[in-house]
Homo-oligomer: A and B are copies of this chain.
């Protein structure tokens, strides 16, 4: 059953996730004798490593060679030509968060190049792009896997696909989909004790590296909205875009125009009283406040924002920066199937990419 032909691997992106992925790829290539995995292309936004005869780039020193490389990355249409002409099957690993690369997926897939990626952009962009991606894949037989686009290495996408593919019906999906938001609310409104001031928790999260360089990129809720868009579509709702449903931003209107993240953080304490009110109102009901996303399939309602939960609810009891995702389905009834754990970080995001790659290899090789 095993083929003696290699499978060519092309990698775009060598940042945090990309570096972790390369080290996992190296170990995988060493363990997996058949098919032989041959890295034929690797690029950052500035540099690239490849040659016309698809020579194998040694994975162990690919990063070092890449930083010394003099070639620039191929433009996406040329890259598609290059990979489509390879003398064996190709899997393209997109470890960027680039909208441009995402937009080219239909071209790659249409030419038989499989794609594995943690990049949310393609699957949470326009519904048209979503349709183009899956129709290109279905026509050519190329595979497209994106487990790490929601919850990093947690088995979220694969579980939802299994639920749908086996004929169950999702009724509701609910959860905490952002490690940053999880950390912020677990410390700001803990189930026991009183928690810190909102602005102080945001500053602390930034210091610990839990936020984007500008924390507003987490607080605007768009990252969560993108993840909800992906899950809603997989559950059968033709959601048009991550801005086509209500998303509550935690950036005070007055601070939207701050010139920098630091400027924003400096002024955030002015709004602590308002967040304190929100917390107190929940406490009055014996509840805590959390930043959640939810999809109600029957009513086709998708929303992102603050909700109140009993202290005993699994969403309230979350720890650290963990994600939690609850799938309510007809088969599982009122007790949902729950998946919980770290939903961000280089190693676990790369793990989702590597496990997708293994699934693709099992099918194409």
- B2-A141 in contact (CB<8A): yes
Within 8 A of B (CB), among A113-155: 140-141, 153-155
Flag whether A363 is at the interface (Cβ < 8 A): yes
Quick one: copies of this chain in the complex?
2
Within 8 A of B (CB), among A145-167: 153-155, 158-159, 162-163, 165-167
- A319-B335 in contact (CB<8A): yes
Flag whether A281 is at the interface (Cβ < 8 A): no
Q: A358 touches which one: B165, B320, B348 (CB < 8 A)?
A: B165
Flag whether A168 is at the interface (Cβ < 8 A): yes
Residues of B within 8 A of A358 (CB): 162, 165-166
Per-residue contact bits, chain A 208-231, to B (CB 8 Å; 1 contact, 0 not) = 000000000000000000000000
Per-residue contact bits, chain A 7-32, to B (CB 8 Å; 1 contact, 0 not) = 00000000000000000100110010
Give the complex CA separation of A78 and B318 in angstroms: 54
Flag whether A237 is at the interface (Cβ < 8 A): no
Residues of B within 8 A of A340 (CB): 314, 337-340
Flag whether A322 is at the interface (Cβ < 8 A): yes
Flag whether A332 is at the interface (Cβ < 8 A): yes
Flag whether A362 is at the interface (Cβ < 8 A): yes
- B167-A28 in contact (CB<8A): yes
Chain A contact residue count (CB 8 A cutoff): 45
- A342-B351 in contact (CB<8A): no
Q: A166 touches which one: B28, B166, B314, B363 (CB < 8 A)?
A: B28
Give the complex CA separation of A209 and B28 in angstroms: 46
- A317-B322 in contact (CB<8A): no
Per-residue contact bits, chain A 47-69, to B (CB 8 Å; 1 contact, 0 not) = 00000000000000000000000
Flag whether A299 is at the interface (Cβ < 8 A): no
Flag whether A75 is at the interface (Cβ < 8 A): no
> From residue A149, how far is it (CB to closest CB) to chain B in Å?
16
Which chain B residue has the least Cβ–Cβ distance from A191?
Answer: B312
- Identify which of A140, A333, A341 gathers the most chain B CB atoms within 10 Å of its CB: A341
> From residue A328, how far is it (CB to closest CB) to chain B in Å?
10
- B331-A165 in contact (CB<8A): no
- A167-B320 in contact (CB<8A): no
Residues A162 and B155 in contact in the complex (CB < 8 Å), given A337-B341, A341-B336, A351-B331: yes
Residues on A facing B (Cβ under 8 Å): 1-2, 24, 27-28, 31, 140-141, 153-155, 158-159, 162-163, 165-168, 191, 312, 314, 317, 319-320, 322, 331-333, 335-342, 347-348, 351, 354-355, 358, 362-363
